[in-house]
Amino acid sequence: MAPAAFRVLDQCRVPISSGDPPRPREASVPLTFFDAFWIIATPLNRLLFYRWSGTTSDFVASALPRLKASLSSTLRVFYPFAGRLRSLPGEVDIYCTDADSVAFTLAESDGDFLWLAGDAPRSSRELGLLAPPAPAPGADGLLPLFAVKVTVFPRAGFCLGFSMHHTLCDGNSFARFLRFWASACRSVGDHTPADDVAVLIDRSLVPDPRGLYTAFLKGVKVRAPPRPLPDDIVSATFLLRRAHIEALRSHASRTHPPAPPAPPRYSSFVLTCAHVWVTILKARQGPAATDLSGATCFAFMVDCRARLKPPLPEAYFGNCIVPCLVEAPLGFLVGEDGLGHAAKAIAGAVGRLGEGGEALLEGAEGWAARFLSWLPRGLLSVAGAPRLGVYQVDFGWGRPEKAELAGIDRSGAMTLAENREGEGGIEVGLALRLPEMEAFASLFDAALDAVA
């Protein structure tokens, strides 16, 4: 299929609206150690595809004003999204003023909307064009943290693309921002947004008795230059239905029953991650692999709002996630009982988090070093989570046709989301070179058939 053509129609900035709640002329949102950990990360690119049967002119006349007006009012509540990352002697903060705004790009494409919003392998580079470029630091050295791009596919649909620096917040907070904006967009000219999407911006709630903030900042400079995408990477989505997960649970529980400190029953998250981890290792090794020595590593993030002591409110805005790294012998995972080995290892890592508290931060000083040491060796990590409910984000034109995280090939991540069909199950997104993707797809289905 010929690459789609993209044409930028307009570039502007959406300011924070006036009104309530009142905003100070300037404010500083301090970073906690949870935020500081992500300063050197590349921005996240979230894509939401929606159906649209009208022309681009129709969109500009009716939908675009609603999106901009509702974003403006949402920024009044979630004002750090319009802020900028500022480096000061010995600290980094998010600098906010009442004159802040967010870059907003309108584009048009002649591409095949249904193909881009589908599950089959598609060019990762082409998907990446649907997200706005990562904002660059201004002349003052301050780094914008968020940008929006809307791409219209006439008489087919449109894509809402976002670039967000992870220092701003985690998936929980970003999902709240999207739900609030969507509610505001649905209610433009009618009523105020639903107030059940609360937000609490108070960094004083996060203590730092171990001095992790200073440790994470040591030697770090603010930067946001994403690496270019290789030309031969494709993105694809795979669905594990509820029946698939139950079959995987039965098989893994029979060959490698959960053992303390793991929970007594393998979760859908554990089984999904185990199945993908094992399958991607087999796809990369190939059937003729002979050197299966050494270890491999899997990483996922754990929301610890409820696990901290005292716990943080669910509405706390910012980052409140800790990394969990799982190491296992490569030979075990690509062997006959790989699924059980992987499930037991991941479940054990979850169980070792215990009831939270200090256990969450065990070895925190070495988190970054461990990540960096594993990156050259093919670390597989997880981005997104089914509980975030990305398919519930309705701006007034129905639920998303598809949700994607673009650019995951830069980080070696798999993505997770709820089944958009609403029948249980989990969607898995991957970005691999085409031969690896074809091998993965074959092994993914064959393994499910084997345990059915």
CATH (domain of 303): 3.30.559.10
**Could you say which of 192, 217, 242 is where a domain stops?**
217
Query: What is the per-residue pLDDT across 315-373, written as a single tens digit (0 to 9) for each?
Result: 999 999 999 999 999 999 998 899 999 999 999 998 888 767 777 888 899 888 888 88
Q: What is the pLDDT of residue 373?
A: 83
Integer Cα distance of 25 and 84 in angstroms? 14
Integer Cα distance of 24 and 436 in angstroms? 52
**Could you say which of 153, 184, 217 is where a domain stops?**
217
Q: What rounded mean pLDDT belongs to the chain?
A: 91
Q: Are residues 319 and 407 in the same domain?
A: yes
Q: Does any domain span residue 167?
A: yes
Q: Is 35 a catalytic residue?
A: no
Choose the catalytic residue: 35, 93, 165, 166: 166
Q: Does any domain span residue 222?
A: no
**pTM (2 d.p.):** 0.94
SS (H, E, C) the chain: CCCCCEEEEEEEEEECCCCCCCCCCEEEEECCHHHHCCCCCCCEEEEEEEECCCCHHHHHHHHHHHHHHHHHHHHHHCHHHHCEEEEECCEEEEEEECCCEEEEEEEEECCCHHHHCCCCCEEHHHHHCCCCCCCCCCCCCCEECEEEEEEEECCCEEEEEEEECCCCCCHHHHHHHHHHHHHHHHCCCCCCCCCCCCCECCHHHCCCCCCHHHHHHCCCCCCCCCCCCCCCEEEEEEEECHHHHHHHHHHHHHHCCCCCCCCCCCCHHHHHHHHHHHHHHHHHHCCCCCCCCCEEEEEEEEECCCCCCCCCCCCECCCCEEEEEEEEEHHHHCCCCHHHHHHHHHHHHHHHCCCCHHHHHCCHHHHHHHHHHHHHHCCEEEECCHHHCHHHCCCCCCCCCEEEEECHHHCCEEEEEECCCCCCCEEEEEEEEHHHHHHHHHHHHHHHHHHC
Q: Does any domain span residue 225?
A: no
Q: Are residues 276 and 380 in the same domain?
A: yes
Q: What is the pLDDT of residue 224?
A: 40
Q: How many domains does the chain have?
A: 2
Which one-letter amino acid corresponds to residue 452?
A
Q: Are residues 165 and 259 in the same domain?
A: no
Q: Are residues 257 and 194 in the same domain?
A: no
CA atoms within 13 A on the CB side of 270: 27
Q: Does any domain span residue 191?
A: yes
Q: What is the pLDDT of residue 192?
A: 55
Q: Are residues 277 and 346 in the same domain?
A: yes
Q: Are residues 205 and 345 in the same domain?
A: no
Q: Are residues 119 and 251 in the same domain?
A: no
Q: What is the pLDDT of residue 190?
A: 52
Among candidate residues 95, 81, 201, 88, the one with its CA nearest the CA of residue 145: 81
Query: What is the per-residue pLDDT across 118-150, written as a single tens digit (0 to 9) for each?
Result: 999 999 999 999 999 989 999 999 999 999 999
Q: What is the pLDDT of residue 132?
A: 97
Q: What is the pLDDT of residue 46?
A: 97
Q: Are residues 192 and 272 in the same domain?
A: no
Q: What is the pLDDT of residue 230?
A: 65
**Could you say which of 148, 182, 217 is where a domain stops?**
217
Q: Are residues 404 and 292 in the same domain?
A: yes
Please report the sign of the dihedral spanned by the C-alpha atoms of residue 363, residue 368, residue 371, residue 372: negative
Q: Mean pLDDT of successive 10-residue segments in the chain (452 residues)? A: 85 91 85 94 94 98 97 95 94 94 98 96 94 93 97 98 97 97 84 66 94 85 52 93 97 92 90 98 78 86 93 96 93 92 94 78 87 81 95 97 89 91 93 95 97 89
Q: Is 231 a catalytic residue?
A: no
Q: Does any domain span residue 192?
A: yes
Q: Does any domain span residue 175?
A: yes
Q: What is the pLDDT of residue 75?
A: 95
Q: Are residues 212 and 245 in the same domain?
A: no
User: 16-32 b/e with 16+ CB inside 10 Å = b?
Assistant: bbeeeeebeeebebebb
Domain of 55, in residue numbers: 6-217
Q: What is the pLDDT of residue 288?
A: 61
Q: Does any domain span residue 228?
A: no
Q: Are residues 202 and 258 in the same domain?
A: no
Q: Does any domain span residue 224?
A: no
Q: What angle do CA 114, 119, 125 make, to 5 degrees?
A: 80
Integer Cα distance of 404 and 64 in angstroms? 22
Q: Are residues 288 and 344 in the same domain?
A: yes
